[in-house]
């Protein structure tokens, strides 16, 4: 995937990403459960320099991770769609939510992260990498 586009549900925010995802994940942390209203958020992690907002800008909600980092969840202030997650201490990467892609059909998760926070009714595919906390490149 050389380039992909996306945005929020109301189209107030649009973006283009020219980077190849470093990893495709399902994040089961409680913050992502709250943001998605479900068991997890599907996301790709890319180099932050490859993401450009072409229309509008997300509003950010900051929280502290269990590891003590500042996590900034970007969402549309008009429709509430979750768009991106940035970890302040890892400014070179950004996670982009798959639900915001114009064409999410190409997404294939390769890893589950924060499985220690996964809900007992959530299915975790044993063929994917399983990370008890944050994603750690193997």
Task: Name the CA radius of gyration of the chain, rounded.
Answer: 14
Find the angle CA(102)-CA(107)-CA(109) to the nearest 5 degrees: 145
Closest CA to 49 of 92, 96, 4: 92
Is residue 1 over pLDDT 80?
A: no
pLDDT band for position 64 (cuts 50, 70, 90): confident
Higher pLDDT, 58 or 68: 58
pLDDT number for residue 89: 67
Q: Which residues contact 90 (CB under 8 A, 6 or more apart)?
A: 69
CB count, 10 Å around CB of 32?
Answer: 26
pTM of the model: 0.91
Residue 131 in tokens: 């990370």
Task: For each of the domains in the chain, give its residue range(s) and CATH number, in order of start.
Answer: 4-131 (2.170.150.70)
Burial class (CB in 10 A: 0-12, 13-18, 19+), 123: exposed
Cβ 86 vs Cβ 57: under 8 Å: no
Closest CA to 104 of 50, 34, 41: 41
Is residue 4 over pLDDT 60?
A: yes
pLDDT digits (tens, 9 = 90+) for 75-133: 999 999 999 999 776 678 999 999 999 999 999 999 999 999 999 999 999 999 999 88
pLDDT digits (tens, 9 = 90+) for 8-57: 999 999 999 998 999 999 999 998 899 899 999 999 999 999 999 999 99
pLDDT number for residue 137: 64
pLDDT number for residue 66: 73
């Amino acid at each position: 995937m050389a380039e992909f586009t996306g945005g929020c549900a109301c189209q107030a925010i649009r973006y283009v990403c020219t980077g190849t995802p470093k990893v495709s994940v399902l994040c089961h942390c409680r913050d992502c459960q709250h943001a998605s209203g479900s068991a997890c958020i599907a996301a790709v992690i890319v180099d932050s320099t490859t993401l450009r907002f072409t229309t509008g800008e997300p509003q950010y909600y900051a929280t502290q991770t269990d590891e003590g980092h500042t996590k900034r969840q970007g969402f549309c202030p008009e429709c509430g769609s979750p768009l991106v997650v940035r970890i302040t201490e890892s400014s070179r990467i950004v996670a982009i939510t798959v639900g915001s892609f114009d064409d999410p059909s190409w997404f294939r998760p390769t890893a589950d992260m924060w499985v220690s926070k996964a809900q007992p009714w959530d299915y975790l595919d044993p063929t994917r990498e399983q990370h008890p906390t944050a994603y750690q490149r193997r």
